[in-house]
Amino acid sequence: MAVCEVLLRSAKHLFKTYLQEVDPMLLSVGVAHFLNCFLTACPNLTPLQGIDEQVLKLNRN
């Protein structure tokens, strides 16, 4: 039980640091990516569709 508590507290601190660097328009993508990395055992080798298009639109503005 104590190990789970330490892991979750550490993840919370990492999550806060990670979200500070994410653009507000892509916040939902950042949360999904963090949870995917934290909760899954295997990495997602294929990126989400449409994310590159959103980033390009943000960079143009």
Residue 50: Cβ-neighbour burial (10 angstroms; 0-12, 13-18, 19+): exposed
What dihedral do alpha carbons 11, 29, 45, 57 form, nearest 10°?
Answer: -140
Range of the domain at 21: 2-60
Query: What domain count does the chain have?
Result: 1
pLDDT at 22: 83
Give the C-alpha separation, 12 to 27, whole Å: 16
pLDDT at 8: 92
pLDDT at 6: 93
3-class state of residue 22 by DSSP: coil
Tens of pLDDT, residues 12-38: 999 999 888 888 888 888 888 888 888
Provide the whole-model pTM: 0.60
